[in-house]
Each structure stands twice: as C-alpha cells, then as structure tokens.
Amino acid sequence: MIIRLIDIVLLVLFGFVSVSKLEDQTKVMLPQSSEIPPIPLKVEERLIVSVDILGDLYLPGRFSPSDTSEIAIYLDDEAVKWEGREVRVLIRADRDAPMAAIKRLYRLCKERNIDASLVVVRDEEE
C-alpha cells in the first residue's frame, strides 16, 4: 500500500515538474523587418522579457501575467545587479501582442532609466 502511494506521489511530482518546464518555453512569433539591422549586444548586457499574444509577460524563469508590481521588483533587482554597466531590456513581443502590454513594459523600464528595445527578426523573403 505504501509503495503504491509513493508511486502516485512521484507521478504527480513528475507531472508538475514537466508542466513548469513547458511554461518557460513560450512560443512568440516575432515581427519581421527587412530594414532594421540587428543590435549586437553581449549576452551579459541584456535582459529578455517576452510578451505573448494575450499580453502576458514572461520574465526569465517565471511567468507574470500582467502583474506590474512583480515586473517592477524584477527590474529594480536587475538594476541593482547591473549598477555601473549599461544594460538593455530586450522585449520579445508576439507580433499580435497587445500594444498596451508592450507600452507598460517600456514605461517601467523608462522609470528606472533602463534602455529597452523591441526585438524583430529580419524578413528573409526579399
């Protein structure tokens, strides 16, 4: 009886771990541009925040559906961590994401004097 209970607990635990891993892998269809050259940045100089089609925000390693206070705390923590160095927030927004979510994120970055830019992919069809 105990062994069956342990098996069930392990299966449930495995399910939660699997679902939490899927949450970090958000598919975002980026807008395309044939005119804007890519911005070369060192990996350590950028923070990536994703915005999905519903306007939900994904911080590195966590999901934050329109919770502005959590995003503000994250940006404050990162600003302290990167103090004295130039850092940029790269906004990976789905091409159909609501502009209000993107503007809210820009405003939060601007209030903290953190540069932010929208990520686009080069249109290869031309």
Q: pTM of the prediction?
A: 0.59
What are 49-84's pLDDT values in tens digits?
888 888 888 887 776 666 678 888 888 888 888 777
Which tens digit of pLDDT belongs to each residue from 8-54? 888 887 776 666 554 445 566 766 666 766 655 554 567 888 888 88
**123/126 Cα distance (integer angstroms):** 7
pLDDT of residue 97 exceeding 70: yes
> What is the domain partition of the chain in residue ranges?
27-122
Task: Tell me if 30 sits within 8 A of 53, measured CB to CB.
Answer: no
Torsions phi, psi of 88, nearest 5?
A: -130, 140
SS3 category, 116: strand
